[in-house]
A and B are shown apart, each in its own frame.
Chain A
Amino acid sequence: MKIFGAKSARAGLDKAPSPRNAPRHVVLRVRGGALQFGERRLWHDLDFDVRAGEFIAVLGANGSGKSSLLKVILGQQQLSAGTMAFEGSPVTRGNRRIGYIPQQKLADEGAPLRGRDLVALGVDGHRFGLPLPRAARRREVDVLLESVGASEFANVAVSTLSGGEQQRLRVGQALAGDPRLLLCDEPLLSLDLAHQRAVSELIDTHRRQRDLGVLFVTHDINPVLDMVDRVLYLAGGSFRIGTPDEVLRSEVLSELYGSPVDVIRTRGRVIVVGVPDAHHGHDGHVHHDGDHVPDAPGSGDGVRR
């Protein structure tokens, strides 16, 4: 299986210690994984590895079990069959070496929470007791804030920050504890294009610097198309994994869905047309149709205003 595809052209940006083409150590290994809720089978015989420094986009229709896959990795959901190992041992709940970035939600005004406090929760929010101010903790939080470009709004109430600023903080929060694997569940949802670009580049930069494995669940691959090494496509109870060029093809997806699907590549974007309704029978247009914004990857210069 080809792991590092055409995207190694970006190797110039790579600050990772080992050479890009050497086989990296496996962070997450899934063998024969299956997930089933009652009669409904989400996926089965799932085999894949996530290697250190590898960026994998997880695509698929609504209800195809993308988020459930992350729940299994986080230990919040049991596999119906198969095994899943993180750093060589079975996944457990609350593993500190796995970072998690959820989709942006409007923070509640009722909470006393500033930017730095959100990041600090990633550092030691799981520990009992009072969050007493300590110099070491403060330094750690400052470094994290700096690394995600959030120092400027460190002392601002989270509820008054923009969606993009909140997601920057989330990246910083997830990086606390020096994770080996970053799980992102639709982190770009409800962000505007400039912020989508900024947040995905931030994640990309850190996975290169820290040699992080990244599993990035998204309904739209275009914002991260030029960053991903491989695509894991879940559909029809089955899956395909490979480089975007290998997986995002009409014949591959048609076979996966069991009905004709067209993959159109235009102006550097991938558009999937004709995805049949998901298992729930609603909201079938999950992938890229309806995403009409003419933004070719690489044109996103105006990231920071």
Chain B
Amino acid sequence: MSDIDWADLWSQVFNFTDYGELLVLLQNSIIAGAVLGIVGGLIGVFVMSRDMAFAVHGISELSFAGASAGLLFGVGVVEGSLVGSIVAALIIGFLGAKSRDRNSIIAVLMPFGLGLGILCLALYPGRSANKFGLLTGQIVAVDDPRLNSLIAISIVVVIGLLVVWRPLTFASVDADVASARGVPVRTLSIVFMLLLGLAVAVSVQVVGSLLVLSILVTPAAAALRVSSSPIVVPLLSMLFAVLSLVGGIMLALGGSVPISPYVTTISFAIYVVCRIIAASRARRGVSGRRLVALDA
């Protein structure tokens, strides 16, 4: 019989000794988490309305491949993952206008990217902890230059999204009419893929490529369960993403397991709560429909 030391296990998962000192030490990670939450929550709304969840996963695997290659060739993890993300995003954007084409292209790209990444990692002579981090996330790795690049890319993504927000919404929910009204639907779709590529690249830095969906999809999906307002949904989505990331990092500080299980669990819990709220509203018949007096 295996005898698990539960107390030891618990202290690996939750450990708050010297918490104050650790907090100071890892403030970069917390800032990174907050910034990433804003970016992920915001772009997640469009990921949902454009039905792009699978694309996010595909891009993140190529981002992983890029990051691994960056590590192996000494170019830098951030640079590598940016290149991988953007190449994947553009391939999906140009070849996958129709959702059926898109899904098959992603399904083809994804294992290839993952395989390429594993090859690069296998050849990399350095410490294996760095390797694992690319897939599942790491909190200790955010040094000042990395935090700066993360913030800079995030600012680009947020400003980009704010500029194209309205026509991108039109193109996402109502492409035919948007096109008839002169919205450059095709150009917007490529612009969006570029922004998505950047957002995925920064997310991979913190939560790892396997878990990017928990930041770019889950919070927005949860927000959509409880509201349909185009103002409330992005705000809630950002709030959920920031809560998941910052909360996850704070919980992960003392333990010796990676950050990702905490982040994904919080993000999943928020989603479940939102579903329960939606279900109870549906049972009570709350629809937002205004009741008008029947003047027959």
**A residues adjacent to B (C-beta < 8 A):** 74, 76, 93-96, 98, 100, 102, 107-114, 117-118, 121-122, 124-131, 133, 151-160, 170, 173-174, 183
Report chain A residues within 8 Å CB of B288: 114, 153, 155-157
B176 cross-chain contacts in A, Cβ below 8 A: 100, 102
B167 touches A128 (CB 8 A): yes
- 6 nearest A-B residue pairs (beta carbon): A94-B182, A125-B170, A157-B228, A112-B233, A100-B180, A111-B49
Shortest C-beta distance, B230 to chain A (Å), equals 5
Question: A130 contacts B166, CB within 8 Å?
Answer: yes
Q: Of all chain B residues, which has the CB nearest A121?
A: B170
Q: Given the complex, which residues of A lie within 8 Å of B174, measured CB to CB?
A: 118, 121, 125
Contacts of A113 in B (CB 8 A): 49, 173, 228, 230
Chain B contact patch, size range: 35 or more
Is B143 engaged at the interface, CB distance under 8 Å to the other chain?
A: no
Known: A117-B230, A125-B166. A110 touches B48 (CB 8 A): yes
CA–CA, A73 and B227, complex, Å: 38
B49→A108 contact, CB < 8 A: yes
**Besides A111-B173, A121-B169, A155-B290, 12 new A-B residue pairs in contact (Cβ under 8 A), listed by A number:** A76-B179, A94-B180, A110-B51, A111-B48, A111-B49, A112-B224, A121-B174, A125-B183, A130-B166, A131-B166, A153-B289, A160-B287
Produce 1/0 per residue, B158-172, CB < 8 A to A. 000011111101101
Q: Is B283 an interface residue (CB 8 A)?
A: no
Hey, which chain A residues are within 8 Å of B165, CB to CB? 128-131
Cα(A249)–Cα(B165), bound, Å? 51
Q: Is A129's CB under 8 angstroms from B230's CB?
A: no
B183 touches which of A94, A111, A152 (Cβ 8 Å):
A94
Among B177, B230, B290, point to the contact of A112 (Cβ < 8 A). B230
Contact of B162 with A173 in the complex, beta carbons under 8 Å? no
Closest residue on chain A to residue B173 by CB atoms = A111
> Smallest CB–CB gap between A98 and chain B, Å?
8
CB atoms of B179 and A125 under 8 A apart: no
Complex partner residue of A152 from B164, B232, B292, CB under 8 angstroms: B292
Contact among B162, B173, B233 for A108, CB-based, below 8 A: B173
| Cβ–Cβ < 8 Å partners of A98 in chain B | 180
Return the chain B residue nearest A120 by Cβ: B230
CB-CB under 8 A from B45, the residues of chain A are: 112
Residues of A within 8 A of B233 (CB): 112
Instruction: Please give me the residue from chain B that is nearest to A73 by CB atom.
Output: B180
Is B167's CB under 8 angstroms from A126's CB?
A: yes
- Binary flags per residue of B208-243, CB closer than 8 Å to A gives 1, else 0: 000000000000010110011111111000000000
Cross-chain contact A128 with B166 (CB below 8 angstroms): yes
Residues on A with beta carbons closer than 8 Å to the beta carbon of B164:
128
A159 to B166, CA, bound (A): 19
A156 to chain B: which residues have CB within 8 Å?
A: 228, 287-289
Report A-chain residues with C-beta under 8 Å of the C-beta of B289: 152-153, 155-156
Instruction: Give CA–CA (A110, B176) in the complex, Å.
Output: 17
Cβ-based interface call for B178 (8 A) = yes
In contact, A129 and B172 (Cβ under 8 angstroms)? no
Asked if B100 is at the interface (CB within 8 A of a chain A CB), the reply is no
User: Which B residues, 176 to 207, have Cβ-Cβ distances below 8 Å to chain A?
Assistant: 176-183
Q: Chain B residues near A74: list those with CB within 8 A.
A: 179-180
> Measured between alpha carbons, how far is A273 from B199 in the docked complex, in Å?
57
Which residues of chain A come closer than 8 Å to B229, judged between CB atoms?
Answer: 112, 114
Cα(A117)–Cα(B173), bound, Å: 10
- Could you say which of A114, A121, A130 contacts B162, with CB atoms under 8 Å apart? A130
Residues of chain B contacted by A129 (CB below 8 angstroms): 162-163, 165-166
When chains A and B are docked, how far (Å) is the Cα of A156 from the Cα of B45? 18
**Contact in complex: B231, A121 (CB < 8 Å):** no
A109 CA / B224 CA spacing, docked (Å):
8
CB distance from B272 to the nearest CB of A (A): 18
